Amino acid sequence: MISLTDYISQSMYFEEVVVELLKRACPGTLNEKEYVRLHHPNAQSWYADAYLPDASLFFNDGGDCFVEVKTQLRSDTLYRVRHQYDQIIQESPCHKLVLIYRDSLIPVPTANKLQHMIGRDIKLVSYKELEQVVAVDNVLEHVALPYEGGLTNDNRCILVRNAFLKGNVCLFLGAGVGKSAGMPNWQELLVKILKTSNAPSVVDNVRQYHNLEEDCMYSYPIIGRFAVDGLVPQDDDNSASELYETAIEELRNKIKRRLYSKPHGSRLVDVLATLTMSEYVDSVVTYNYDDLIENKLKEIGFSKIMPIYENNRCLPIEKPIYHVHGYVPRDKSLQSKPILSERDYHELYKEAFHWTNVEQLHALNRNTCIFIGLSMTDPNLRRLLDFSRGALLDDGKENPHFLFMCKDCHQKTDDKKDAYFKRFEQIMHEFGITVIWYDNHNELPDLLLALLP
């Protein structure tokens, strides 16, 4: 059985334990979600992690207070908390704030000095001090418990639902979503394009494709290079020419014909549209060319969306759906260049402030991101996750994101499965992602639907 000390050593569980302890010590304590629902029902989040109706645990003159929970106390943390406090007193009659922290990275004299500077209505309390005034016995019976080496899958589902209901969510969608609606996977799409391409290595059948796949080290961007080379002139001088534009249009048309040749209904798409409509989701990032989510939302009467595919922007009342690899909808009036080949990826790499990189980084740094239908092998996504990870750790957040992953997608022998899954989880943990496993794709819609209240 894991100890309380081991449990709170993992940043993602610390806040949950602190709020549970406060609820024991002070009846009527509310977590962020409960406070918002009662006092600010039109808001998606609040400025603090908990609300105490009786602050006598921390202030001699009693009254009520808000509580902010941080895993690490840094000098800049205190200045951010002071700004947070200034926002709170503008919107609430409660004018006291307690900052409870697990670890301090600043010397005690410095912390005392900063405490004096930020004001008497803001109090710093270490977790050790909290343990001295509240009962910690059996607290783990009321929070999501990890097993040795990680969380049970049921408890991971609890964590992702709690995170979802706090709002500020961004859905990251991959090819698995389109596959559920009859869209081709990468292999099927590339075979179709290569068959009708003037590429140096023409592919007439799947067997020849497999040979090319081996030659290209099983990398879809490298295989895509062959496909695009046979259609689009690669001379930079031609990039704005009529020949280039004609070739891009031909590529779009080939993709469009293959994408929408055999579409059918998908319960997964239906559920994702429902999630996107909800107050908890701010935006969607998709690596797919198709318009499945947009069409479904329009079909059910939700029009406050905007597909973002180049430099277009959405209104404040609209939810953006970022097509970071291009947009090839059925509507011919909307179009952008598909990101398909290795060269296209390199263009993204070399432009640090390309809008696709900026929007993905904004989501990874500011939102709870939920990854669906993705293998997590995309090199640019992994690079951005690495960049984002450092900023998140500096802010005391360990695993703010979640990935739904099918076990059947990993074809491993029984004697290698457990070791592989653990290794995969460790890699995702390094990216700040908690993995929720499911056994087959039919389970995924119900798992996602369970996120809603």
Measured CA to CA, the distance from residue 298 to residue 330 in angstroms comes to 14
Task: Provide the terminal-to-terminal Cα distance of the chain, rounded to the nearest Å.
Answer: 31
pLDDT along the chain (453 residues), means of 10: 56 77 88 78 71 90 89 78 80 87 82 70 88 72 51 82 91 94 79 63 54 64 66 52 64 80 88 96 94 94 91 86 90 74 76 87 92 90 85 58 85 69 84 91 95 93
Domain covering 4-143, topology? Trna Endonuclease; Chain: A, domain 1 (3.40.1350)
Using DSSP's 3-state secondary structure scheme, residue 71 falls into strand
Residues 359 and 308 sit within 8 Å (Cβ to Cβ): yes
Kind and range of the H or E run holding 104: strand 97-104
Residues 370 and 169 sit within 8 Å (Cβ to Cβ): yes
> Tokens at residue 26, please?
């002070």
pLDDT of the residue at 151 = 67
DSSP 349-370: HH-TT-HHHHHHHHHHHHSEEE
> Tokens at residue 266, please?
């998908």
Q: Can you give the C-alpha Rg of the chain in angstroms?
A: 25
Using DSSP's 3-state secondary structure scheme, residue 145 falls into coil
pLDDT of the residue at 1 = 45
> Tokens at residue 315, please?
């209104």
Q: So what CATH class is 169-181+263-449?
A: alpha beta
Residues 389 and 432 sit within 8 Å (Cβ to Cβ): yes
Of 284, 293, 287, 319, nearest to 305 (Cα)? 319
Task: Using a cut of 0.85, tell me whether the model's pTM lies above it.
Answer: no
Domain ranges of the chain: 4-143, 169-181+263-449, 186-259
The C-alpha angle 384, 175, 193, rounded to 5 degrees, equals 105
Beta strands at 368-372 and 319-323: parallel, antiparallel or unpaired? unpaired
Measured CA to CA, the distance from residue 308 to residue 314 in angstroms comes to 8
pLDDT of the residue at 295 = 93
